[in-house]
Amino acid sequence: MNLGKAIHQQNGLRYIIELLQLQSSVGRQRMLQQLFMSDPVVLEKEFELLSEMVERFKNSHFLGAIKVIIQRLQDLHDIQGTLNNLSGKAVLDDIELFEIKRFALLADEIRKQLKVLDYNGIVISDLTKVIKILDPEQNHIPHFFIYDAYSEPLSALRKKRKAIKDQQSEEALQIHQQCIEIEDEIRKALSTKLWAFYTEISEAWQAVAELDFMLARARLAVDLELVKPQISIDSSNFTRLFHPQVKSLLEQQNQQFQPWDISLHKAPCIITGANMAGKTMLLKTIALNQYLFQFGFFVAAASAEIVPVEKIMTGIGDEQSELSGLSSFAAEMLNIQAIIAQARAGKKLLVLIDEPARTTNPHEGIAIANALIDLLEKLEVRSLITTHYSGLKTNCRKLRVKGLHFPTNTEPITVANINQYMDYSLVTHKSDEVPREALQIAKILGIDKALTDGAKLYADLNEKKL
């Protein structure tokens, strides 16, 4: 899977990608082709390179060089078509030769600035020989034509032609024809010389794309206060994990995002908590950060040790599904089946499921959820599952979102201020029972009193029956 595909499957990721400040179209293409990486060694190296760039970004000493590089990247044109012609050993025309010269000059300047940055993570091949071929007058200005300096006979013929008064005369036309012939020979000779440098030019082209993407990721890390993740072998541990988009939204409303501390082991973990306690948001945040990690981005936390997986599988309700058109229960079960199949095949997974079996009757729902957790435990799947079901008979780890704490003063809780009274932190939860705050939350939401009071009567009745 590459990042271009993942953006379409993961809404949170799309938000992050839109914040990436890529300067060139080739940088954007490079970004979309970024692969989902699972190999710890590859990831380690990727984060090392990114970390070095982030350090450059934070150091005001390097701002000038970074600014110049960004400007040069903005000036880049897409020369892929010309590169194809070069690799196909075609004779290039003036426009194509101009493109290569312009690119070589830009790449050369970027290369010099990278030296100022003392950054060795990306190597841009030395194109001075290419510049020399296309810049016989050595003025380092990005313009091009078949210069007089290429050929003495051409230069002499051009002078002779200019001296002729009537440009339409037989003599002038004849000289012009001779000039064209020599120019064509020169284009062929230049092209032949450039064919030999195809690899260098093409590598430089890929390197500037790489640099654009690297710079964009470094800038993002600084802007969003992301952190370099450590690679872990058995458990993922996040401290002060956050969701950049939601954090930014809350900050715009002068509210604070409450980050989570959480660890994930090679087994299922159950999350319970009241409605509106952010359980679903927690799952989305973990999914987003695992994706960021595996695509080589820094992550949204104060610190993070993360276990790389081969596949992230979710049942959160916002994923694009080929199963649409089915009943919600059928779609959900088939999604779970896909997860089980991957787990049985021995794939290293991260599984995040929001309220499994919520779309059917609670009696069988609990039974299905229980069996699913048993199976995930048996298959040793790293998974996080939220539920509202009480009485799940399982020995796996359980966490609870602390939830509402009621104010000591008489201020009523409303939708507007609920964020202040909700404690989103996670605590270990021993019992099988889950908190019952649905009716309270419904009241806060201002739901019709007849409905909430009626529900309370039924709830008390059920309680008595038990």
Partner 1 sequence: MPFVDEILKYKSVSIVGMEKNTGKTECLNYVLKRLENSSHKLAITSIGLDGEGMDQVSLTHKPEIHLKEGDVFVTSEAYYRTKKLDAKILNLSKQRTSMGRLVTARVTAAGKVLIAGPSDTFWLKKLLESLSQFGVQTTLVDGALSRQSLGSPAITESMVLATGAALSANMQTLISKTAFLHELINLPLWDSEKSDELLQITSGLWAIDKQGEVHDLGIESAFLLEDNKDKLFEFGTTFYVSGAVTAGLLNFLRMQADIENTVIIARDFSHIFADSDSYHAFTKRGGQIKVLLQTKLISVCVNPVSPQGYVLDSKVLREKLMERIGIPVYDLFKL
Kindly give the residue spans of alpha helices, DSSP state H, lying in 357-411: 362-378
Residue 100 structure tokens: 């290569």
* Comparison of 136 and 362: residue with beta carbon closer to partner 1: 136
* Comparison of 81 and 407: residue with beta carbon closer to partner 1: 81
Interacting span for partner 1 (CB under 8 A) from 34-42, 137-145, 359-367, 393-401: 137-145
Residue 268 bridge partners (DSSP): 383
Sheet holding 268-272, edge to edge: 311-315, 349-354, 382-386, 268-272, 397-404, 422-428
Nearest to 255 by CA among 420, 402, 441: 420
Helices 80-87 and 170-195, packing angle to 10 deg: 80
- Exactly one of 31, 50, 73, 99 binds partner 1 (CB under 8 A); that residue is 99
* Comparison of 168 and 361: residue with beta carbon closer to partner 1: 168
Give the nearest distance from C-beta 369 to partner 1 in angstroms. Answer: 50
- Exactly one of 61, 88, 95, 449 binds partner 1 (CB under 8 A); that residue is 95
Q: Phi-psi category of 102—alpha, beta or left, where left has phi over 0 and alpha has psi -120 to 50? A: alpha
* Comparison of 100 and 444: residue with beta carbon closer to partner 1: 100
Interacting span for partner 1 (CB under 8 A) from 142-150, 198-206, 213-221, 273-281: 142-150
SS3 assignment, position 293? helix
Residue 74 structure tokens: 């903005």
Eight-state DSSP code of residue 275: T
Give the nearest distance from C-beta 143 to partner 1 in angstroms. Answer: 5
Strands 268-272 and 382-386 come out as: parallel
Query: Are 431 and 272 contacting, i.e. CB atoms less than 8 angstroms apart?
Result: no
Please report whether residue 160 would count as binding partner 1 according to CB under 8 A.
Answer: no
Please report whether residue 184 would count as binding partner 1 according to CB under 8 A.
Answer: no
Residue 374 structure tokens: 């048993």
* Comparison of 95 and 233: residue with beta carbon closer to partner 1: 95
Please report whether residue 156 would count as binding partner 1 according to CB under 8 A.
Answer: no
Nearest to 112 by CA among 60, 54, 75, 69: 69
Give the Cα separation of 130 and 135 in Å (integer). 9
- Exactly one of 30, 56, 111, 158 binds partner 1 (CB under 8 A); that residue is 158
Please report whether residue 135 would count as binding partner 1 according to CB under 8 A.
Answer: no
CB burial of 267-283 (b: ≥16 within 10 Å; e: otherwise) equals bbbbbbbbbbbbbbbbb
Give the nearest distance from C-beta 72 to partner 1 in angstroms. Answer: 14
* Total residues in contact with partner 1, by rule CB under 8 A: 17
Please report whether residue 171 would count as binding partner 1 according to CB under 8 A.
Answer: no
Interacting span for partner 1 (CB under 8 A) from 10-18, 161-169, 307-315, 430-438: 161-169
Contacts of 264 (CB under 8 A, 6+ apart): 235, 236, 237, 286, 307, 350, 382, 384
Please report whether residue 144 would count as binding partner 1 according to CB under 8 A.
Answer: yes
Please report whether residue 140 would count as binding partner 1 according to CB under 8 A.
Answer: no
Give the Cα separation of 295 and 292 in Å (integer). 5
* Comparison of 74 and 255: residue with beta carbon closer to partner 1: 74
Query: Rule CB under 8 A: which of 40-79 touch partner 1?
Result: 77-78
Residue 225 structure tokens: 């206060």
* Comparison of 145 and 225: residue with beta carbon closer to partner 1: 145
Give the Cα separation of 126 and 64 in Å (integer). 22
Residue 363 structure tokens: 């009696």
Query: Rule CB under 8 A: which of 101-130 touch partner 1?
Result: 102
Give the nearest distance from C-beta 110 to partner 1 in angstroms. Answer: 18
Please report whether residue 162 would count as binding partner 1 according to CB under 8 A.
Answer: yes
Query: Are 290 and 329 contacting, i.e. CB atoms less than 8 angstroms apart?
Result: no
Give the nearest distance from C-beta 69 to partner 1 in angstroms. Answer: 18
Please report whether residue 169 would count as binding partner 1 according to CB under 8 A.
Answer: no
Interacting span for partner 1 (CB under 8 A) from 139-147, 218-226, 266-274, 332-340: 139-147
Strands 260-264 and 236-241 come out as: antiparallel
Give the Cα separation of 4 and 139 in Å (integer). 41
* Comparison of 99 and 332: residue with beta carbon closer to partner 1: 99
Please report whether residue 94 would count as binding partner 1 according to CB under 8 A.
Answer: yes
* Comparison of 137 and 460: residue with beta carbon closer to partner 1: 137
Please report whether residue 93 would count as binding partner 1 according to CB under 8 A.
Answer: yes
**Interface mask (CB under 8 A) for partner 1, residues 303-342, using x and -?**
----------------------------------------
Chain contacts with partner 1 (rule: CB under 8 A)? 77-78, 93-95, 98-99, 102, 142-145, 158, 161-162, 167, 179
